[in-house]
Structure 1
Amino acid sequence: MKHIKIDQLDFELFIDYEQIKKRIRLMGIDISMKYEAKHPVFVGVLNGCFMFMADLMKEIHVPCEISFVKLASYDGTTQGSIHELLGVGMDLKGREVIIVEDIIDSGKSLQHTIDALEKMEVASIAVCALLMKPECVQYEFDNIMYVGFEIEKEFVVGYGLDYNGLCRNLPDIYKNVNSTG
């Protein structure tokens, strides 16, 4: 599909699955080399990371563990207070942690996750994101180590990213043609 319509919004193909797979393969090689003898824990931020994390883990060739967190805003916006709906569920003290995010937008949820992990006294935190909107990031991060694609202020859906819960299942990423977001 080159175009999709959701409600009254039009989206066009932005990044196809073949490009995504190639980029993830390269990220997996980099991570596997860096963490060769470190037994990292990958912490995926749900719901958006599920497709990216599944494909990324197929490209990781070192012993590792996987866990997930689920965050939500109290008022349903990126401006609201963040709270945890589902925790990591394992002891991470002294562990090498790689946070897996679908997209870094404002950075608010990422900052919340990093703060929570630092309280657990982890050895290190690296961030691996499929997409990042550099213009939108409102926090200073020195641990974003792996980014699949840097994008403009685009409103994107597909490959785990949603619009009102829809489109997470699409293999490609689409951008809204009517506005930026």
Structure 2
Amino acid sequence: MTVDADHVADDLESVLLTEVRILARVGELAAGIGKDHAGRDLVMIGVLGGAATFTVDLARALESQVEIGWMAIRSYSTSNRASGSVRLLKDLDIDIEGRDVIIAETVIDTGLTMSWLISSLNQRRPASIAVCALLRKPNAPQFAVPTYVGFDVPAGLIVGYGLDYRGRYRNLRCAAVLAPHAAR
């Protein structure tokens, strides 16, 4: 049995994106990345834990070889508001110097983590850096690097397709807005 929206319907305000729609868009994002980076030495960096599902699906949709690396970052916040503090929990263990880097992230909200990542990775002298985010919330900042975006989504606590709330819903196969009563 797989976990879908029907299994947790009482906890969800609405389903934003079905698994079918997500995977179709992931394929389109991969095609754009493949075209823009054809013949280049490509490294995809996934941000653990929320972007693991997206990173793997995106890499599998590419029509060329890609090395995958992982980083874990925590941005500290209170009441879902970013405090401005970022802590590296797991550093990248592959060399990116002279290589094209794609940072894969499931959702960009405040941009705090992504800004920190771009700055940190630039110090390692890659040939280029681009961001690929499946979801972008309102008021997300623009970055000074190429950015691929799957979907613009409304504000709210989004769960599923790798995104969690207190460790739950990460294996939900769609992306959904968590209902206020479930976020207490």
TM-score when normalising by structure 2:
0.87
Contact 1:39 1:62 (C-alpha < 8 Å) held by counterparts: no
Letter in 2 for 1:87: D
Give the aligned length: 175
Shift in Å, 1:75: 5.6
Letter in 2 for 1:47: G
Aligned counterpart for 2:65 among listed residues 63, 66, 70: 63
Q: Which deviates the most, 74-83 or 61-70?
A: 74-83
Larger relative contact order (C-alpha < 8 A, sep ≥ 6)? 2
The 5-angstrom pairing of residues 49-88 of structure 1 reads: 49-74=51-76, 78-88=82-92
Aligned counterpart for 2:114 among listed residues 104, 110, 113: 110
Please give the alpha-carbon distance, in whole angstroms, between the structure 2 residues aligned to 1:158 and 1:101. Answer: 14
TM-score when normalising by structure 1:
0.88
Aligned counterpart for 2:48 among listed residues 37, 46, 49: 46
- Seq. identity, %: 33
Letter in 1 for 2:93: G
Q: Which residue of 1 aligns with 2:161?
A: 159
Q: Which residue of 1 aligns with 2:15?
A: 13
CA change 1:51–1:118 in 2 (3 A) is same
Please give the alpha-carbon distance, in whole angstroms, between the structure 2 residues aligned to 1:144 and 1:166. Answer: 32
Gaps of 5+ in 2: none
Contact 1:44 1:68 (C-alpha < 8 Å) held by counterparts: yes
Q: How big is the alpha-carbon RMSD for the aligned residues of Structure 1 and Structure 2? A: 2.0
Gaps of 5+ in 1: none
Q: Which deviates the most, 96-105 or 170-179?
A: 170-179
Considering fraction of residues, name the structure with more helix: 2
Q: Deviations over 1:20-57 (max 9, x none)?
A: 01101111111111111102100011110011111111
Q: Which residue of 2 aligns with 1:32?
A: 34
